[in-house]
Structure 1
Amino acid sequence: MGELGTIFGGLTGKSKDDFLDGNARFISYVNIFNNIAARLDSDDFVHVDPGERQRSLKRGDILFTGSSETAEEVGMSSVVTREVDEPLYLNSFSIGYRLNESEVLDPEFTKHLFRSEGMRKQLVKTASGVTRFNVSKARLAKVEVPIPVLEEQRRIASVLDKFDALVNDLSIGLPAELNARRKQYEYYRDRLLTFEEAPV
């Protein structure tokens, strides 16, 4: 990851009061944890003064939770999959990642990729701790990312989006069916997102 892009932190220099009467949206830890595609319309606001030096988010940015009480839940990812039409910031307890060349990875593909079993195994290894686990940016920079051709990325994303839509449409099916569909989605996600290492 370190060769492909830049790792950055969230909001800096903010006090509790800045979150009471905010004028700009930010992506919260919970938003990242719960959504493979970040919800840009969430009601999380922070006060940011004009000219204040904060990094705003844009389409394609990959967001990670920076810490967790369990190693298995650390480094959960979410991706900004839509164009951002207003200033949008990242919560201070989170980590952002921006590709040097945005066209290398399609955001619709990336949102599934970083939640796949292979990537999760690598991401969990970036953290250390005892009662609280924190992601090391230095270790995050060493995470290896498979990059299929864009056409293949879009094909995989399309298949997985259909499964995801089925799993999350609560108006269809019974709980047992939904559970089976969720397992099916996870199975195909991990199968589609397991890549052989290219010969050197």
Structure 2
Amino acid sequence: MSAAGFLEKLLDGAEVIWKPLGDVAQYSTTRIGSDQLDESNYVGVDNLLQYRAGRIDSDYIPTSGNVTEFNKGDVLIGNIRPYLRKIWQADRRGGTNGDVLVVHPIDPVLNSRYLFQVLTDEKFFEYNIQHSKGAKMPRGSKHHILQYLVPIPCPDDPEKSLSIQGEIVRILDSFTELTAKLTAELTAELKLRKKQYDHYRNWLLSFEGGEAEWKPLHEIGEFIRGKRFTKADYVDDGVGAIHYGEIYTHYGVFTHKTYSKIRSDMASSLRYAKPNDVVIAGVSETVEDVGKAVAWLGKEEVAIHDDSYAFRHNMNPKFIAYAMQTDSFHNQKAKYVSSGKIKRLLIDGVKNVRLPVPYPDDPTKSLQEQTRIVAILDTFDALTTSISEGLPREIKLREKQYAYYRDQLLSFSKPEAEAA
């Protein structure tokens, strides 16, 4: 029997009423003290994983004041960059910040897990993206989210309604559980590989016992800040561009292609990264992400956003990009990041951050050594990223099945007036 047929049999002619989310749930209005939080129950937007993948423990915990409380069963939705589809149902009590919406069910004829499945559906994220506001760092509209329609089967018979919701949850959770187990195994292996790789990269670029001079960035090259463009300037065919947000999404050592195009009539007003420049994100939500960099290895110049910088130099661009991933770089950089909600690189300070330059008195030998190190790190990087980019076929299949059944089991018919 198809999922749609199963749903029809499950309903057995029962009425379905579509209620605004705000009628069956509300945003959390309670607070929790920072003294009750730890890495396992503080969930900031950075601890919510993209594409419905759950959460991870936090590296940051507030040390004073109160934050928004969540309780077991509440649904947490990342409200920055809704297109990342960050969502998690709390299995514990804890706290979060203003960048995460805590949706608390209040209707007794509503299974909290059923609500989570409704809000995990692609239809909700498409709706949330459609109503989000802001070009640089879009946010979901809290007002519109509460207007999102939630299907409640058989609302006048609470026992039957909860039974129907529970059966839908049982089926969808079976897919969720299997996918989660497979993904957990993958994540554990990836985490181990990444830890080993990070340790080796830090050691290799520390030049312990090797011949290198640690030079400030302003002696190695120059920073060129990009020019502003907005979401409205994007086109299908125009000037290639790198937005700072794409550096996070496609973060790596290098890139050969752009993911955005800007209107051609703006070409003369833009600023560009040249081939072999390193493009650096100048803003982010976290100290860790601000300053992330990619080496631009395309054949043409590429426009950069005014919250990004092109670093122009005479070294191996991938060597610099790798060096900007080390603990040494991040520890130095942290002193030159603004303390506001949105973190910004204080570029006049960052110019003093030092990177290693091997054999500084012999340019030819220096480039040879840089190339040698890049080749080694390329191999490790490929081993680390291959497992995350090439998800096992079974996990992909399970995710596809889960999405199909979720869509089918939540495809209740709307009255014509509501569907319009």
Q: Normalising to structure 1: TM-score of the pair? A: 0.73
Once the two structures are superposed, what CA deviation does each residue of 1:98-130 show, in whole Å capped at 9, x if it has no partner?
12xx2xx21222221111111121222221123
Quick check: 1:23 aligned with 2:238? yes
Quick check: 1:166 aligned with 2:383? yes
Q: Structure 2: give runs of 5+ residues left out of the alignment.
A: 1-216, 359-365, 393-420
Q: Structure 1: give runs of 5+ residues left out of the alignment.
A: 174-200
Q: Write the letter of the residue equivalent to 2:310.
A: G
Q: Could you say if the C-alpha distance between residues 147 and 76 of structure 1 is closer, same or farther in structure 2, counting changes exceeding 3 Å?
A: same
1:143-162 equivalence runs, <5 A: 143-148=353-358, 149-162=366-379
User: Could you tell me which residue of structure 2 aligns to residue 136 of structure 1?
Assistant: 346
Q: Write the letter of the residue equivalent to 2:348.
A: A
User: Could you tell me which residue of structure 2 aligns to residue 63 of structure 1?
Assistant: 279
In 1, the alpha carbon distance for the partners of 2:294 and 2:318 equals 11
In 2, the alpha carbon distance for the partners of 1:55 and 1:42 equals 15
Helix, strand or coil: the match of 2:255?
coil
Q: Could you say if the C-alpha distance between residues 27 and 50 of structure 1 is closer, same or farther in structure 2, counting changes exceeding 3 Å?
A: closer
Contact 2:226 2:272 in 1 (8 A): no
In the TM superposition, residue 20 of structure 1 has moved relative to its aligned partner by 4.2
More helix by percentage: 2
In 2, the alpha carbon distance for the partners of 1:51 and 1:130 equals 32
In the TM superposition, residue 26 of structure 1 has moved relative to its aligned partner by 0.5
In 2, the alpha carbon distance for the partners of 1:120 and 1:91 equals 22
User: Could you tell me which residue of structure 2 aligns to residue 47 of structure 1?
Assistant: 263
User: Could you tell me which residue of structure 1 aligns to residue 306 of structure 2?
Assistant: 92
Quick check: 1:110 aligned with 2:320? yes
Helix, strand or coil: the match of 2:357?
coil
Structure 1 moving runs of 4+ over 6 Å:
none
In 2, the alpha carbon distance for the partners of 1:50 and 1:77 equals 25
* Number of aligned residues: 166
Contact 1:31 1:39 in 2 (8 A): no
Q: Write the letter of the residue equivalent to 1:36.
A: G
Q: Could you say if the C-alpha distance between residues 51 and 91 of structure 1 is closer, same or farther in structure 2, counting changes exceeding 3 Å?
A: closer
User: Could you tell me which residue of structure 2 aligns to residue 189 of structure 1?
Assistant: none
Contact 2:233 2:262 in 1 (8 A): yes
Q: Normalising to structure 2: TM-score of the pair? A: 0.37
Q: Write the letter of the residue equivalent to 2:375.
A: S
Q: Write the letter of the residue equivalent to 2:356.
A: P
Superposed CA RMSD in Å reads 2.3
Of structures 1 and 2, the one with the larger relative CO (CA 8 A, separation 6+) is 1
In 1, the alpha carbon distance for the partners of 2:276 and 2:367 equals 14
In 2, the alpha carbon distance for the partners of 1:28 and 1:162 equals 27
Identical counterparts, % of pairs: 25
Contact 2:242 2:259 in 1 (8 A): no
